[in-house]
Structure 1
Amino acid sequence: MTTPISSCRGCTRPIFILHNSLRSSIRITRVPSWLQPTSARTCSRSFATTGLRFASPKQKPTIPLKPTVLSPAKSVPSPILSFAQKLADKSSPTILYEAAPQGVFLFSSYTAGLFFIGAAAINIVVNVYNLPEGLHWIVSIGFGMVGLLLAACGTRFALMPAGMIRSIKVLPARPVKALNPAAKTATPENLPVRLEIEARRTVPFPGVPLRRIQADPNDVVMKAPLYNRKAPPSDYEKMLMKKQDEVRRKQEREYEMNHLMTAPFRHGKQVFSMLFKNFRRGLTGEGFAPIMINGVKYKLDITSAYVLEEGRALDRIVKIDK
């Protein structure tokens, strides 16, 4: 239906407007959004942020919460293990202490022990049981006391290598399922720490196999820590020591090449000094630290041995009774 309207001042012809009541049935061409006025813009798509923009202030928007999915690595808490349990968690034994080869010390100890015990036996047989005629009987008592003293010294030297620790290791822990089938993760309560200790037997015979001892770290007690904290040298001191070492080696090399005739005597002196040093260690026990394992006293060689982390690892695992 058309209805005439009055013409405007600038136009002489009447304008007709087509009025249709069935506006919804007619296809209307969509006008671009940038041509529409701001108040007449509509959203053709619906997003969560768009709903928040046009929501009434009284109505609170509902934001869908995404379910948090934890990864398997983060969902299972990692066990809190001590230093000893971290070493026991490895697949291979960890060496905490290992003594250097002690062939010279063993040779000197057994040789000195055999010499003193043989001298004691000869002295008692010759001067006690076969006392020459014309001597007072009190002389035999004196020779007997000397023989006992020689035998005691020989026993001392022969038993000095007894109880020497060869190595100390941390054994790998057994599977947790073998200890507790219901446990699924390793915890400090069910992860055992065992030490394997190799020591010489008390029998004073060379070639005897070592004794293997498995002990709990709480049953191993040392009298003093192995780690001896020293002030680290400065860069200047390191450079100075390096130069002094180079100069000393150069001088020794020059002296060795210029005095070849006396070289055998110098080498013999070095061998004799080494034997005397080991002989002194066998007599005085120099260079050994006492250690108690399951209530039994053993010895650690601290003069020449390999220790993990300069001894700090063993100090952290075993007990130290100062």
Structure 2
Amino acid sequence: MSSALSPELRQLWLDGISAGSIVPCVGPGVLADVVSTRDGRRIPATSDELIIALNGGKPMSPKLMFEFSRAAMNIELKRGRNAIKRFLDTTYASDEWSRAATHDWLRALHPAYVIDINRDMQLLDSYAGIPHQVVLGCARLGGSAFRYLLYRNDGSGYVRIEPELGDPALPTLFKPLGAPLPGGVVKPDGTRIAESSYIASDADHVDFITELMGGFAVPAFLKRRREGLRYLLIGLRLQRDTERMVLAELFHGAASEPAGWALLPDASANERRFCTRLGLQIIDADFNELIGATTGVAENRQLA
């Protein structure tokens, strides 16, 4: 059962996000209005867009077009894992992209905890100059059972810290599928190095989700902090198994009745079943109704 977006519900969300009891969870749809300031092309965000960009602007075979993780696995097998990392670094570490209206909206609210399944830097840029910490998903990392990297930013740059040093009082930005870090990481000697981490290929997803289900992909402080929270899904379709599996684990310990809300215009049967299972209420509305923006583009660029 879906509902419409009422002024009362919108205010409930705004109050909850500001108070920290409601967690925004953003997906590819929020980047629908982001374009290159150099040539006007849209930032690759959806599965199809990422595949085509990875393949030099051309579609791949129907079998590989099914999902970005499958296409990335194909490229990894042919050219190595670093080929995928270089592509994502080149795409998302660039400063050429315009700002998303949704990220400007979130910046004004300054949420204490945000989940962003995109791999771009706009959410991190929104907290520039503000002390915060970032959790980046990682996979196939030797010598550690953990499947995340934790960084703290005191307002001047990122420093990688050990899991036990996570601060529950700091705003936390969770990027489960990874991102490049804006400005790089500050080493103990004061030098900066570029650093990034991504979940991209099928092999990455299998490793990450397996450890996520085992409890090794979420910092301990965040496991305690997330108990009883509710979630608001913005710009995120729920048609792919990989996204659904990640979210189901990240929402562990959520409040009930409801566990949150999903802005899903014309939700599919699969999306409805998933939301019912997680206790999410579907709101049949475009997320631009929530943020009060008119972008001139469709809200949720499909993940097909």
For Structure 1 versus Structure 2, the TM-score category normalised by the shorter chain is: under 0.3
Answer with 1 or 2: which has the greater Rg. 1
TM-score (norm 1): 0.18
